[in-house]
Each structure stands twice: as structure tokens, then as C-alpha cells.
């Protein structure tokens, strides 16, 4: 979300710059978290349910955020790529309602359910969004200066894209908008003739796609600890089976880091930045906390029960009823223990213990 000053989490300004024979062109886009107070606390679930702040004035920081964006970049077209069903739906509805309530003609809101539209590998449907905002993109233009230093065009506004973490879906859409702008820029400065397209230049096309995929990975490694998802589409223009496998692998790594290692990293950042001041009178270090008994006992019970279930399957008893009874017993024990662990998920994750602990409480 944002802080009280209107600064959005995961905010990144991306400028695509072209140099050719003294001429220079650029196209600026921004990305940032949904700009009001909300959170998604790790609790061992793959997708923790987002919580919208209830005891704060959501419009305060929201208004400040867009005021600063308009001052810096001019008109804003908000591209909200979150799901419009399920756990992400309340965020989409709240975002749309707040933009409408703000009543600022400089801000236009566009919702595009990325996962729904592109489900079943229908990635060509992203063109629907590109076509939908083409008029605004032409209106915004881009920055262009010729070899003599004369400014020929100024960019009059920016696209502000977001998904949940402003990484994977966001980067795919940004690369498509940047590509459309680049097509016009290259024609304007004489690299491409009228009627030619970037797609026809195979060598350049490959370099361009890889540059945007590398940009996605650079952002994702800072925020999520892994490379970006969906980069196979950015690099090749289509979704691949290997890309799906790599997305699954990166998702597993993200899940582990988010639940079991990011809390300590957040504490390190807060300590380094001075957000937490060490008191000399403190007798005990706040990073050392006594683990509850279930933190150690339940995982051990679950592993033992699951192992016994597998052993019973591999080493069948004298009768099938005996084997079934053992499998059901140990299977029930393992799944029951797992359910208890998930139910108490907040006790098992590596939550921050310094500044962020106060916010979570």
C-alpha cells in the first residue's frame, strides 16, 4: 500500500531511452502498489487474504499520492491488473471507488483482469488492453529531441501500472506499452520507414525483449528474492511449458522466503536505516524470542506421521484392511497436524520483531 505521506510501496519509475545519430527519445512509465492502506500478512497460506485498513482515512494518503504523481508526471492513466474475483476483488473495487470519489480529471482508471483475460495461454488478449489505452498513449506522446538539441515533443502524462506486488503482470504490460511507443519513436527518428515494424527486425526484437525481461528480473530480485514470473512471454512473445515450470519453481522459492526468511531481512533493513534504535538499558535482545512448544512439536509430528503413512503404503500388511487402517490413521494424523499448523500460521512464519512488529500488533 502506501504510507501517510502518500509514498507507494514497490514504486519504480521506468524510462526507456533511445539514442540514434544524436537524436534522443524516451518514454516514462511508473509502477507502484495500490495506493491506500492495505496489507497481506504472511500466514503460511499461498495467497494470504488482503486486509484493507479500517481505522484510517484511506483518502488522505491516496490524495497525496496522486497529487505528487500529477506534479511529477502530468496526467495519469491507472492500469489496475489485479483479479476482479476472489481475494483481490475488494482491492480492485476499493481502488475504482476511490478514484471516482477523488473526482480528478487528470486521473483515469482502467481495470484489466490479467489472469482472467490471459487464462488458458490466451496471451494475445493483452492486445485488448493495449488497444483500449492507445488513444491515451498517443495523447501522452513521448520525449523527443533532435541532434541539434531542439525539443520536438514532450511527454504529457504517464501510465501507472500495478498488480498485487507490481512485478510480473505489471512488467508484461509495461513492455507492451513501451514497445508501442518505441515503434513510433524509431519511425520518427528515421530508423524505421513507414510501414516497417519492430517485429520484422529479428535481431533487434530479441535484444529488446531480453532488455525488458532483465528489467523484470532486476525488480523482482529486490522485492521477492527471485527472478520475475512470466518472463518467457516477455523474451519470446509467447507462453511456454518451460516458462510455466520456471514460474512454479520461483513461486516455491518466493513462498519459502516470504514465510521463513523475510522477517529477519526486514529487521536488518530497519536496524540499518535507523528505524529502530537500540536502547542501552535493554537487557534482552528483541530478536531472540522463546519459541512456543508447538513451533517445534507440530512439524516433527507431521513429518513422522507422513513418513509412517508412506512406509505403510510401501510395506503392506498381511491384509488390505490392516494396511488401509494404518494408512488412514497416519494419513489423518499428518493432515490433521498440517491443518493445525496452517490454522496457527502466524506463529510459524518469520515475522519482523523490531519496527514492523509494532505495526502488526
Q: What is the mean pLDDT of residues 129-147?
A: 95
Q: Is the pTM of this model over 0.95?
A: no
Highest mean pLDDT among 98-107, 232-241, 304-313 belongs to 98-107
Pick from 312, 168, 175: which is nearest to 250 by CA? Answer: 168
Q: Residue 38 and residue 156: Cα distance in Å, rounded?
A: 30
Contacts of 177 (CB under 8 A, 6+ apart): 27, 29, 130, 133, 137, 159
Mean pLDDT of 25-38: 94
pLDDT for residue 163: 92
| Distance from C-alpha of 177 to C-alpha of 169, rounded to nearest angstrom | 13
Lowest mean pLDDT among 32-36, 276-280, 321-325: 276-280
Q: What is the mean pLDDT of residues 138-153?
A: 94
Are the CB atoms for 84 and 92 separated by under 8 Å?
Answer: yes
Question: H/E element holding 295?
Answer: helix 293-314
The mean predicted confidence, pLDDT, of the chain is 88
CB within 8 Å of 300: residues ≥ 6 apart: none
- At 358 the pLDDT is 47
Inform me whether the pLDDT recorded for 287 exceeds 80: no
Amino acid at each position: 500500500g502506501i504510507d501517510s505521506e502518500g509514498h507507494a510501496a514497490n514504486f519504480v519509475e521506468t524510462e526507456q531511452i533511445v539514442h540514434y545519430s544524436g537524436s534522443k527519445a524516451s518514454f516514462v512509465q511508473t509502477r507502484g502498489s495500490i495506493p491506500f492502506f492495505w496489507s497481506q500478512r504472511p500466514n503460511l497460506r499461498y495467497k494470504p487474504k488482503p486486509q484493507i485498513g479500517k481505522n484510517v482515512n484511506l483518502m488522505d494518503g491516496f490524495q497525496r499520492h496522486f497529487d505528487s504523481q500529477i506534479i511529477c508526471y502530468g496526467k495519469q492513466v491507472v492500469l489496475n491488473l489485479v483479479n476482479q474475483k476472489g481475494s483481490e476483488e475488494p482491492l480492485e473495487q476499493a481502488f475504482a471507488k476511490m478514484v471516482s470519489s477523488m473526482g480528478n480529471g487528470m486521473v483515469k482508471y482502467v481495470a484489466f483482469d490479467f489472469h482472467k483475460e490471459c487464462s488458458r495461454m490466451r496471451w494475445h488478449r493483452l492486445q485488448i488492453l493495449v488497444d483500449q489505452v492507445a488513444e491515451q498513449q498517443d495523447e501522452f506522446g513521448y520525449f523527443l529531441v533532435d541532434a541539434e538539441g531542439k525539443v520536438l515533443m514532450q511527454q504529457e502524462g504517464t501510465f501507472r501500472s500495478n498488480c498485487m506486488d507490481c512485478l510480473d503482470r505489471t512488467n508484461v504490460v509495461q513492455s507492451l506499452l513501451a514497445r508501442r511507443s518505441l515503434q513510433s519513436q524509431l519511425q520518427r527518428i528515421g530508423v524505421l520507414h513507414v510501414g516497417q515494424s519492430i517485429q520484422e527486425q529479428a535481431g533487434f526484437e530479441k535484444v529488446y525483449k531480453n532488455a525488458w525481461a532483465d528489467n523484470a528480473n532486476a525488480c523482482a530480485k529486490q522485492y521477492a528474492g527471485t527472478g520475475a514470473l512470466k518472463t518467457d512471454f516477455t523474451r519470446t512473445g509467447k507462453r511456454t511449458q518451460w516458462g510455466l515450470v520456471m514460474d512454479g519453481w520461483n513461486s516455491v522459492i518466493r513462498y519459502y522466503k516470504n514465510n521463513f526468511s523475510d522477517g529477519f531481512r526486514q529487521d536488518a533493513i530497519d536496524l540499518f536505516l535507523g528505524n529502530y534504535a537500540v536502547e542501552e538499558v535493554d537487557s534482552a535482545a528483541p530478536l531472540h524470542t522463546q519459541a512456543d512448544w508447538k513451533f517445534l512439536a507440530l512439524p516433527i509430528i507431521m513429518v513422522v506421521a507422513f513418513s509412517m503413512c508412506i512406509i505403510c503404503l510401501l510395506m503392506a500388511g498381511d491384509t488390505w484392511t490392516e494396511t488401509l487402517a494404518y494408512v488412514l490413521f497416519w494419513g489423518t494424523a499428518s493432515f490433521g497436524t498440517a491443518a493445525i499448523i496452517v490454522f496457527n500460521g502466524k506463529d510459524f512464519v518469520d515475522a519482523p520483531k523490531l519496527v514492523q512488529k509494532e505495526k502488526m500488533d
